[in-house]
Every structure is written in structure tokens, then in C-alpha cells.
Amino acid sequence: MKVVKFGGSSLANSEQFKKVGDIIRADKDRKYVIPSAPGKRFSKDTKVTDLLYRLADEALQKEDFSGTLEEIKERYNEIIEGLGLEGFSLDDQFEEIKKHMTESPEVDYAASRGEHLNGRIMAEYLGFEFLDPFEMVFFDEEGLLDDKKTMRTVGKRLEEVDYAVIPGFYGCGADGKVKTFSRGGSDITGSIVAGACHADVYENWTDVSGFLVADPRIIKNPARIETITYRELRELSYMGASVLHDEAIFPVRRQGIPINIRNTNRPDDEGTWIVESTAQKSGYVITGIAGRKDFCAVLITKDMMNSEIGFGRKVLQAFEDNQISFEHMPSGIDTMTIVVHEDEFIAKEQKVVSAIHRLVKPDSIEIESDLALIAVVGRGMKSMRGTAGRIFSALAHAHVNVRMIDQGSSELNIIIGVENKDFETALQAIYDIFVLTQL
Ligand code: ASP
């Protein structure tokens, strides 16, 4: 049995809806469908969710929101007409939204209607049952997913239904009102449903044929990743690669359910498989490369640091007291470097420096900015000789000066710090040495 989630671009208009219909009907194991709201039809277009946020804003300011509501209505009407759903209309729902947003305007309620309405159309189009996540997905007092209650409720409900459409992105808050996940949250709903009904696969359909080895905005036509492990994915997405919502892997991962990222516009492409573990080699030693610019390194030096018990803890205390999270911490015998995000750090910089002075009395503190970090990730690097060597010789050939190196003992990734200005050159050099030379 398969749970299938379709992203906004897959459902942007009736033409896309038809492709989705074909995909679902092509495989009777595709039993539970999680739709997003209609996304962009072209690059300058506005997603329905963004229109709904605008509507909520207008309603809260007590402005006239009828123009925005009309715009949203037109998006759905095009889909309904294009699919030839005679006798079906969302007029009642739109009346209800108007009333709700006039009497008690709520942002989450408004935003959730994008998925809700799309789900109603989808259920009608496929002849599947419509299940409202408001009755099955629960959040706790702190606004976090109430995992146990949700899984139990969804699991029970699905036992009674063979084929269903369950809108993504929202559920019921602790106060009994509609509450949404953060943006892109339909991925999480799909994962919850897949986990709750013990699906064989969670198919996540989008507009790309899976994950790419590197960012296509920097590397031309990068190769596709066929199989990636959850842990590799975490490393890469933390470093800026994104296709899937960060929180979407947990409900399926716990049960060893694989996620298959697929392309609605190229349904025959195999896409990328995200799995717990695999014996499959990636073919390139590395699985992916990702990176981000604008980090700062705070270098703390003190003679005989290594024999001073509690030194590291006190240094980190200075960051914690200022509510700054650190990214990496390479160290030497008498030095310790804390890598932080520039935008988080700059405003509190002097406070942190004085706190470190007070807490550990270092010989010196130096701050370097404009640092970019690149993560080279791959399960294949483990026990493979020469990987680091290849990376560094490629960077040397490309005239990139390496400012920092950090390799975890898991050997799953190597983090390299370079200057911001060398970022693109470095990515290209690493990509070329591992992928281009193998093709
Ligand atoms: N429609 C919501 C958004 O645009 C959620 C989603 O698409 O997953 O963020």
C-alpha cells in the first residue's frame, strides 16, 4: 500500500490535476492521497496559500477581503471546470470562509483552506472519501504535533476506509481551533499518514525528479541521487538542500518506511529513494554536496587549554547565555573554534566576547567572518581511503584556500570552510572530481 502526497505545483491547475489523477489511477495501491494547496502555475504566479495569508491579513485589519477571496475562488473554479466536475461546487465552503473570516478572523484557519478545498475537489475527482485532518491530526499545548494521539487516531480511521483523500498542512490545535504546520507542512501530513497505516512506501510527488547531487543554481545539470539514507539527507538539508520539509522524515523513519521523491511531470522517472539503510553504492563515493555562506568563526586561544577541565563547557556557556546556537567546533591543542551563523551572531558579538573573557580568561579571541561551509556527504566515504585527499587536491587545483576542516567520526560527512567568495568555485571543483570524472 502506498501513501501519495502531491505538492502545490503538481496541483496548480486542472491540467496538473489530470496528471495527478492518471498517476493515482495507474496503481491501485495508491490508496491515501495527501494534496497541498494549488501552487504556482508559472514563476511569477502566487500560491493559493500566500493568497490566503493575504486574505487573513486583510481580514485582521478589517479591510475588504472580497477581492482576494474572488481571486482564490477563480483558481478553484478553473480546476473544477477543467476537470468537468459537473454539479460540484465549493460555493458553500466559500460562504463559510467569508463568514468565519468576518466574524473571527484567524490566520491558521485561512491558510488551511488551501489544502481543505483542494482535498474536496480531489476526493470528488477520484471518487475517494474525504477525511478532514482537523479530526485526526492534533497539536499539544505547546503547538507541537501530538504524535501519539495523532498516530492512533489516523491509524484507526484508516482501518475503516479503503481509499481516501486527506488534505495536508493542518490539524486541530489544543484550543480546538484549526492549526497549521510551518510552511511546506503537507510533507509532514503525508509522513504521518504513511506511518499510521504502515504503508510500504511514502511517495512524495513534486516538480523535480528527486534530489540532485548539488544545487542546480550553482552546478549545471547535476546528477540525480538514486538512493540516500535518512541521515545523509539530514546532513544535506541542514546545509541548505531542500525538497522535503525537515520534520517530514520522522514519522516514517521510525517504521523503516522508504520515501520516494517523484516528478509529476515525468512520472516514469524513478526519482530518489530515501531509506533507513542500504547496501547500494551511490556510484560516486559521495552522495551529495551542499553548502551555505555567511558563517563566522570565533577562534579562542589559550596556552595549556587542553589541561583545563571545563574549558569547553564554559566557552559554550557564553554562547548559550546569549541564545546563540553553534554549528561546528573544530579544535586544536590550545585552540578552540566555534562556528556560528553570522546573522545570529553579529548583534551579540561583543557580549559573547566579553563573556568568554570573563569565563575562561583566554590569551586571545579572534573573529573571522565571510566564511562559507560546504558539506560533502556520503555513506560511501566510510572506510574509503583517499576521499579527503581528493577533495583537498581538487580545491588546491582550483586555487581555493581551505580555512577549516571538520570530519565527524561517523565518516558520513566532511565539512570544509572556505571564504564566501570561493564558495561556488569550491563546490564546482568538488563536484567535478567526484561526479564528472566518473561519468
Ligand atoms: N500549502 C502550504 C505551503 O504553501 C503547505 C504545503 O504546500 O505543504 O506552505
> How confident is the model over 205-236, as pLDDT tens digits?
999 888 899 988 899 999 999 999 998 888 88
Paired strand residues for 416: 374, 405
Asked if 170 and 181 count as a contact pair (C-beta separation under 8 A), the reply is: yes
CA of 180 to the centre of ligand 1 (A): 10
Half-sphere exposure of 2 (CA within 13 A, CB side): 18
Q: Is 188 in the pocket of ligand 1 (CB under 6 A)?
A: no
Q: Residue 330's pLDDT is what?
A: 86
pLDDT, mean over the chain? 93
Between 324 and 437, the more confident residue is 324
Q: Is 114 in the pocket of ligand 1 (CB under 6 A)?
A: yes
What is the separation, in whole angstroms, between the first and last Cα of the chain? Answer: 36
Q: Is 428 in the pocket of ligand 1 (CB under 6 A)?
A: no
Q: Residue 251's pLDDT is what?
A: 93
Res. 357: pLDDT tops 60:
yes
Given pLDDT bands bounded at 50, 70 and 90, which one contains residue 284?
confident
Q: Is 183 in the pocket of ligand 1 (CB under 6 A)?
A: yes
pLDDT digits (tens, 9 = 90+) for 164-205: 999 999 999 999 999 999 999 999 999 999 999 999 999 999
Res. 64: pLDDT tops 80:
yes
Average pLDDT, stretch 45-51? 97
CA of 191 to the centre of ligand 1 (A): 14
CA of 246 to the centre of ligand 1 (A): 13
Q: Is 49 in the pocket of ligand 1 (CB under 6 A)?
A: yes
Q: Residue 280's pLDDT is what?
A: 74
pLDDT digits (tens, 9 = 90+) for 154-165: 999 999 999 999
Largest CA distance in the chain: 80
Q: What is the per-residue DSSP string for 138-186?
A: BB-TTSSB-HHHHHHHHHHHHHT-SSEE--SSEEE-TTSSEEE-STTTH
Pocket test for ligand 1, best of 9, 11, 36, 72 (most atoms within 8 A of CB): 36
User: Which of 61-75, 137-151, 304-318 is predicted least confidently?
Assistant: 304-318
Q: What is the pTM of this model?
A: 0.85
Q: State the residue for C-alpha cell 548559550.
A: 320
Name which residue sits closest to atom 8 of ligand 1, judged by CA: 184
CA of 100 to the centre of ligand 1 (A): 21
Given pLDDT bands bounded at 50, 70 and 90, which one contains residue 407?
confident
What ligand 1 atom has the least distance to the C-alpha of 36?
7
Task: Answer positive or negative: Cα dihedral of 199, 202, 205, 208.
Answer: negative
pLDDT digits (tens, 9 = 90+) for 106-141: 999 999 999 999 999 999 999 999 999 999 999 999
Given pLDDT bands bounded at 50, 70 and 90, which one contains residue 439?
low
CA of 50 to the centre of ligand 1 (A): 9
Q: Residue 177's pLDDT is what?
A: 98
Pocket test for ligand 1, best of 115, 118, 192 (most atoms within 8 A of CB): 115
CA of 185 to the centre of ligand 1 (A): 6
Backbone angles phi, psi at 194, to 5 degrees: -60, -40
CA distance 131 to 129: 6
What ligand 1 atom has the least distance to the C-alpha of 182?
9
Q: Reduced to 3 states, what is the DSSP secondary structure of residue 295?
A: strand
Q: Is 8 in the pocket of ligand 1 (CB under 6 A)?
A: yes
Q: Residue 405's pLDDT is what?
A: 87
Q: Is 186 in the pocket of ligand 1 (CB under 6 A)?
A: yes
Q: Is 243 in the pocket of ligand 1 (CB under 6 A)?
A: no
What ligand 1 atom has the least distance to the C-alpha of 169?
5
Q: Reduced to 3 states, what is the DSSP secondary structure of residue 285?
A: coil
- Of 202, 135, 195, 140, which is closest to residue 170 (Cα–Cα)? 135
* Residue 297: C-alpha distances to residues 93, 328, 421 (Å): 53, 9, 16
Given pLDDT bands bounded at 50, 70 and 90, which one contains residue 282?
low
What ligand 1 atom has the least distance to the C-alpha of 114?
1
CA distance 386 to 373: 21
Q: Is 264 in the pocket of ligand 1 (CB under 6 A)?
A: no
Given pLDDT bands bounded at 50, 70 and 90, which one contains residue 409?
low
What ligand 1 atom has the least distance to the C-alpha of 115?
1
Res. 105: pLDDT tops 60:
yes
Pocket test for ligand 1, best of 9, 33, 40, 47 (most atoms within 8 A of CB): 47
Please list, in sequence order, all residues whose beta carbon lies within 8 angstroms of the beta carbon of residue 309, skipping any fewer than 6 positions away.
Answer: none
What ligand 1 atom has the least distance to the C-alpha of 39?
4
Average pLDDT, stretch 276-295? 85
Between 254 and 101, the more confident residue is 101
Please give the share of the chain, as a percent, with pLDDT higher than 90.
81
Name which residue sits closest to atom 6 of ligand 1, judged by CA: 184
Q: Residue 283's pLDDT is what?
A: 72
